[in-house]
A and B are shown apart, each in its own frame.
Chain A
Amino acid sequence: MEDLGFHVPSLVVYLINFTILLSLLYVVGYKPILRMLDQRAESIKDSVEMVDRVREEAAAQQVEMQQQMEEGRQEGQAMLTQAREIAEKIRDEATSKAKQEADEIVAKARESVQKERDEAIDQVRQHFAEIAILAAERVIDRSLDGKTHKDIIEKVLGESADLNRS
């Protein structure tokens, strides 16, 4: 063994050397580097998880948004339908009111025309009676007493009414 260089003190030196090297490398090398690798792995894992979470949230939000848009569209559609119905109703009401007013105006007009016509007829009748009396007085040259007078007028008017009717 001596020819091969076996030397106990050297062996002890190498054992001590290795122990020192192992301890120092552990402190200045393995520990910080493994910690850094763990930290990085953790950070990458967190990032990936966060990306997944954000992606899921975005997908959920998109679904929710689409749902809200659908709801909004349906609501808008319903409001539009309702507005159309209201507009239809208002138009119908306005039409019927206008028609009613028009009918009332026509009725009033008719009534007024009728009234004016009646008054005109009365006036005409009055004048006619007066003219008739006057004419009769001149024709018969006598004055008629009140009763006779009235009878004659009524008779004439009755005839003229018959004439009007015919």
Chain B
Amino acid sequence: MAAIKRPAVLLIFVLLLSLVVYGLMNGAIGTSLTSGEGEGTPLLEAPHPHIPPQKIGFPSGKGGESVTSADGFVITNTILSSWVVMIILIGLFYMGTRNMKIVPSGLQNFLEFILESLYNFVQGVAGEENSRKFFPIIATIFLFVMLNAWVGLLPIYPALGFIDHGHMKGHLLRPAGTDLNMPLALALISFVFVEFWGLKLLKLNYLTKFVRLDNLRKGNFAQVPIDLFVGVLELLSEFVRIVSFTFRLFGNMTAGEILLLVITYLVPFVLVLPFYGLELLVGLVQALIFAGLTLVFVVVAVTPHSEEEH
């Protein structure tokens, strides 16, 4: 058995090494080293990353053009990608829960494992009482962000696009996380979610976080300006979260996308793989951060302030 395995492993190793050498020689780095400045032609053309998403030409506009504020409703490559993710998620859950059994197997088992892990995470932070209320939003944020990041690693994403004069003008599909509007939409949902539960569970007491009247009532007038300032800071921090949520996710996803494009341009084969692995991890971590922070903020929001102080 070892005798059969060894030549196969050796062959794979030689093949990979050849690809590394070929990639190094024919990538942007290799060609600039061997042919001098501006003389050689790298295997892939230099990437021209666009920050705004591109239109796909439906229902209006030209495919591959960046979206502008003048555009009305257009389907962009990031929106299309988010729909793909939605279809995958809904399809997976539909298939997995169609014929549920008390002793799970296959897809049902896999989905139950994911949801149970997420639920335990939510329960660990929010407690038994509130975990059921918060779980759907937190789980959806997690799954949506993670899968949106991961689908971008599929080879079909950079492969399909709009060709203009022999150049790739824009891709048909692009991870939705690289579109500012998607993280912004999630940040707004997270904001509304936190404020909604804060108000619902604490009623008007929730607002005492922003309008602190304790010292005014007790007659500690010297503390009142500080309270006022702290209240404004608290209110501001609620809105700052939207910005931080948005740009954290948008920045990470866009940077990851550009990093992969650039590394592939520099060294087309094999050496790109560690970066793909890194992006898998980044997708998971960003999803956890987005979902985890939303969970922490909502738990803080529904905790009575007197309890918080103790």
Contact = CB atoms under 8 A, between A and B. Distances in A.
Contacts of B111: 29, 33
B93 A3 contact: no
Interface in B225-246: none
Main secondary structure of the interface of A (DSSP, over half): helix
Nearest to A17: B82
Contacts of B185: 11, 14-15, 17-18
Contacts, number: 126
Interface residues of A, number: 33
Contacts of B104: 36
A18 B67 CA distance: 21
Interface in A11-41: 11, 13-15, 17-18, 20-22, 24-26, 28-30, 32-34, 36-37, 39-40
Interface in B165-205: 176, 179-182, 184-186, 188-189
A10 interface: yes
A40 B100 CA distance: 12
A10 B135 contact: no
Contact of A5 (B93, B140, B143, B180): B180
Contacts of B74: 9-10
B72 interface: yes
A100 to B, nearest CB: 85
Contact of A3 (B52, B176, B184): B52
B181 A21 contact: no
Contacts of A62: none
Interface stretch (B39-47, B112-120, B151-159, B207-215): B112-120
Contacts of B4: none
Interface in B121-140: 132, 135-137, 139-140
Given A2-B52, A29-B96, A36-B112, 5 more contacts: A1-B180, A4-B250, A5-B180, A7-B68, A18-B144
